[in-house]
Chains A and B, each alone.
Chain A
């Protein structure tokens, strides 16, 4: 017994001794072929699938943007789309998009990338119809859905007259289709000799033609990217080896970046943690424009929200600055349109229509409409899905509406699973939701919200909104598009089917020696690994 105890004690002592000596062995260390040292990104995002046919989430697309090429892509700090695998994609007319591939493209396994691979990629994404995939949702202009919900590619929708030309024939005028092609979940190009036609490829086996190849993938633990030597495009200059570590708790990620266990923490620390880290001299908190929004939806076809005056009055007292400061410590920006700043055609319609928060003006709106005050209002929110600060926002909204003296608010919450059901059933007059863009165009904030009650089914319907959406999607004239997009935002401010609340910032926290982080923090939320280096 004694011997055993001594042996165990010895093992424990060895472990502690080893801990006390030796330096901190992070992921650093020089590697050949890239710029600077290898480095580690920490994130709480999760990856649904490395096969683009099975993902529709930011965690997956963050890796996809580096591993795969799409026909077109979004450069940092811009909403203009440029060629990626394609030299260019141009509309012959609003229903025909022609893309010309660059010469000499290869996948990381050495196989050539031709127009046949492009066609195959779209065909298989649609054929697989993965429930987690984006293709069947975003590629509506080249697909048809039958009564049973089966989605099929339209006959002749993709034409490949030669090895470098791909022509998309859309079933309706749709100039947003080019933006959809930038999103890997819908438009990543895969190797037809590697990816099976009717099922997803295992995560660790995926092959792409992007600037990096996936050298290791351990679900929920880490991914390792290494330079793709076959890549000949413009996305160069990054480290030879990059580690992505996955964290399930934001608190663990915060500790890791504080202790230097990760070089960069990107998505998603709480506002409190970010504020705390801003005081750390060894770390830099970098902030770029964001695209994630929160908004409050009205039940527009029943209850008190059926009266547009009630909706307008609430919009008139809504104080977004107070929400951003009191609920989020200033880590978000007030949002005055459902389309956040930075997108072509964006305008602060709610600001233009209502100006500063003004309870007296709100009272007048209600008085003119003959609405008796205080208006009883059931306001809904959900505690976990949108993070811990959702409760603070709900309380702040309640305070603002109550203090105006015009509303008598009853705050109700439900867990996300239940919440989604009950808000559609009319449990709330006004409820909180969030949105993340699918592609870098204002349309991604308009068509899902304004047409026939939106995806959230709030009962709002205005033929003018439907016509404007058709108009902006159906024209390739940019000025015409922006005009329609502006009118849609104005209509939203007048009809108030929802009240925009705030837009998040794209925030990364990094340690010493990291460069290029700020350059990639833009509303597209593409983390461009090839632009980031670690030196010293």
Chain B
């Protein structure tokens, strides 16, 4: 194969970038179709128990819901292409503003949760791999399975019921009302804005609110990291270079620390990006449990209200985020491991 063949990194990146467009189109189309196939519309969801059929129809007409589906579909795609996501029906907000205001909350939650997952998952995975089939290994494996399998709302409830009280931690929202009111929204990400404000009490307040939701969400994916790191450690420990190092008289502990751990983490990087989608899914449930004003919670509300415009806008942005992160992971993968380009 020549350098200009399929093994070329620029060509690989170009292919992946071009694939993003049909992927997003498919997702947009699916969102549009699913919302129209599902029974109901925003008018009947809001006014169905109040107005007669004639009045409901008048309102549907006014909102363009009686337009042919193809016309609605074209409007939707062309608006998205112009980055115009319209206005929500149910609460009169610009969809882009919803994403801006609530996306920051979701981003803060997912990033901190991710860090917590790494902080818990990687060390535990290393210990489990290093001391295979020992009592700690058994406990850590069990812990990993439990955190991955336990429903988020259940973990959240346990933390709210048994941890929040003794530690004096809040159980809802991302800050107390006075903090939300007083901190100037410079970036629309409260976690950043509060540090920019330099208000110590507000910083403490925001961090306290962040603890339980981020632990709840972080636990969900730390189980994945535990199992992944453990398996990679085990594989690495049996690699030829490890055995060779041991044969040269280097202690097992030193070999593990200096060689096995580092190499075992390489595959984890490739999985990290993929966990982001799982995190976004988990964020929906975490936000509902902790009344966290993020995009996930808004999405659930808008789905219940059959708010087409809002749901389409938010899912589109979710989808674009996941697709772009997948793209980034693929590119990093290709850089680290040339085999994936072929």
**Interface mask (B8-31 → A, CB under 8 Å = 1, otherwise 0):** 000000000000000000000000
Quote the shortest CB–CB distance from B215 to chain A (angstroms).
10
Quote the shortest CB–CB distance from B174 to chain A (angstroms).
8
Contact B40 A417 (CB under 8 A): yes
In the complex, residue of chain A having the shortest beta-carbon distance to the beta carbon of B212: A19
Contact A249 B177 (CB under 8 A): no
The segment out of A48-56, A65-73, A156-164, A280-288 that lies at the interface is A48-56
The segment out of A129-137, A232-240, A363-371 that lies at the interface is A129-137
Contact A12 B119 (CB under 8 A): yes
- Residues from chain A with Cβ under 8 Å of B306 in the complex: 417
Contact B172 A224 (CB under 8 A): no
The segment out of A22-30, A113-121, A400-408, A526-534 that lies at the interface is A22-30
The segment out of B202-210, B219-227, B315-323, B332-340 that lies at the interface is B202-210
The segment out of A80-88, A255-263, A475-483, A492-500 that lies at the interface is A255-263
In the complex, residue of chain B having the shortest beta-carbon distance to the beta carbon of A29: B178
- Residues from chain A with Cβ under 8 Å of B43 in the complex: 131
**Interface mask (A191-207 → B, CB under 8 Å = 1, otherwise 0):** 00000000010010000
The segment out of B142-150, B228-236, B248-256, B289-297 that lies at the interface is B289-297
**Interface mask (A142-167 → B, CB under 8 Å = 1, otherwise 0):** 00000011000000000000000000
In the complex, residue of chain B having the shortest beta-carbon distance to the beta carbon of A134: B50
Contact B49 A243 (CB under 8 A): no
Quote the shortest CB–CB distance from B208 to chain A (angstroms).
5
B301 contacts the other chain (CB 8 A): yes
Contact A222 B180 (CB under 8 A): yes
A259 and B165 contact, Cβ closer than 8 Å, known pairs A25-B176, A129-B62, A455-B51: yes
Contact B167 A20 (CB under 8 A): yes
A252 and B178 contact, Cβ closer than 8 Å, known pairs A129-B62, A259-B171, A385-B49: no
Question: B47, B61, B122, B211: which contacts A149 (Cβ < 8 A)?
Answer: B61
Q: Which of B49, B60, B177, B211 is the most central at the interface, judged by chain A CB atoms within 10 Å of its CB? A: B177
**Interface mask (A400-423 → B, CB under 8 Å = 1, otherwise 0):** 000000000000000111101100
Contact A256 B172 (CB under 8 A): yes
Beta-carbon contacts under 8 Å, B128-186 to A: 160, 164-165, 167-173, 176-181
**Interface mask (B44-67 → A, CB under 8 Å = 1, otherwise 0):** 111111111111011111110000
- Residues from chain B with Cβ under 8 Å of A46 in the complex: 90-91, 301
Question: B177, B204, B290: which contacts A224 (Cβ < 8 A)?
Answer: B177
Contact A219 B291 (CB under 8 A): no
A399 contacts the other chain (CB 8 A): no
Contact B51 A243 (CB under 8 A): no
A256 and B207 contact, Cβ closer than 8 Å, known pairs A416-B48, A434-B49: no
Contact A249 B39 (CB under 8 A): no
- Residues from chain B with Cβ under 8 Å of A19 in the complex: 167-169, 207-208, 211
Contact B171 A248 (CB under 8 A): no
Contact A252 B176 (CB under 8 A): no
Contact A245 B101 (CB under 8 A): no
Contact A8 B177 (CB under 8 A): no
A15 and B207 contact, Cβ closer than 8 Å, known pairs A25-B176, A433-B49: yes
Quote the shortest CB–CB distance from B253 to chain A (angstroms).
15
Bound together, the chains give a CA A424 to CA B49 distance in angstroms of 12
Contact B177 A27 (CB under 8 A): yes
The number of chain A residues with a CB under 8 A from chain B is: 70
The number of chain B residues with a CB under 8 A from chain A is: 74
How many A-B contacts if CB must be within 8 Å? 187
Contact B44 A220 (CB under 8 A): no
- Residues from chain A with Cβ under 8 Å of B207 in the complex: 14-15, 18-19
Contact A252 B289 (CB under 8 A): yes
In the complex, residue of chain A having the shortest beta-carbon distance to the beta carbon of B61: A149
B196 contacts the other chain (CB 8 A): no
Quote the shortest CB–CB distance from B118 to chain A (angstroms).
7
Contact A219 B50 (CB under 8 A): no
In the complex, residue of chain B having the shortest beta-carbon distance to the beta carbon of A24: B168
In the complex, residue of chain B having the shortest beta-carbon distance to the beta carbon of A21: B204
- Residues from chain A with Cβ under 8 Å of B201 in the complex: 22, 25
- Residues from chain A with Cβ under 8 Å of B170 in the complex: 24, 259, 261
Bound together, the chains give a CA A203 to CA B39 distance in angstroms of 30
A9 contacts the other chain (CB 8 A): yes
Quote the shortest CB–CB distance from A270 to chain B (angstroms).
15
Quote the shortest CB–CB distance from A393 to chain B (angstroms).
16
Contact A149 B58 (CB under 8 A): yes
Contact B181 A224 (CB under 8 A): yes
A315 contacts the other chain (CB 8 A): no
In the complex, residue of chain B having the shortest beta-carbon distance to the beta carbon of A57: B46
Contact B39 A415 (CB under 8 A): yes
Question: B57, B61, B91, B289: which contacts A49 (Cβ < 8 A)?
Answer: B91
Bound together, the chains give a CA A256 to CA B177 distance in angstroms of 13
Could you write out 29 A-B pairs with CB less than 8 Å apart?
A9-B119, A15-B210, A16-B211, A20-B168, A22-B201, A25-B201, A25-B208, A26-B178, A47-B91, A49-B91, A49-B92, A56-B50, A137-B55, A149-B58, A219-B98, A220-B102, A221-B173, A249-B289, A252-B291, A259-B165, A259-B171, A261-B171, A261-B172, A261-B176, A415-B40, A417-B44, A418-B39, A455-B52, A457-B52
A-B contacts besides A14-B207, A18-B208, A243-B178, 10 pairs, CB < 8 Å = A12-B116, A18-B204, A20-B167, A25-B204, A49-B92, A131-B43, A222-B181, A243-B177, A415-B39, A435-B49
10 A-B pairs with least C-beta separation:
A417-B40, A149-B58, A243-B177, A131-B59, A49-B92, A27-B177, A221-B293, A252-B291, A417-B39, A420-B48
User: Chain B: residues with CB nearer than 8 A to chain A?
Assistant: 38-41, 43-55, 57-63, 89-93, 98, 101-102, 115-116, 118-119, 122-123, 160, 164-165, 167-173, 176-181, 201, 203-205, 207-208, 210-211, 262, 265, 288-291, 293, 297-298, 300-301, 306
User: Chain A: residues with CB nearer than 8 A to chain B?
Assistant: 1, 5, 8-9, 11-12, 14-16, 18-20, 22-27, 29, 38, 40, 46-51, 54, 56-57, 129, 131-132, 137, 148-149, 200, 203, 215-216, 218-222, 224, 243, 245, 247-249, 252-253, 255-256, 259, 261, 385, 415-418, 420-421, 424, 433-435, 455, 457
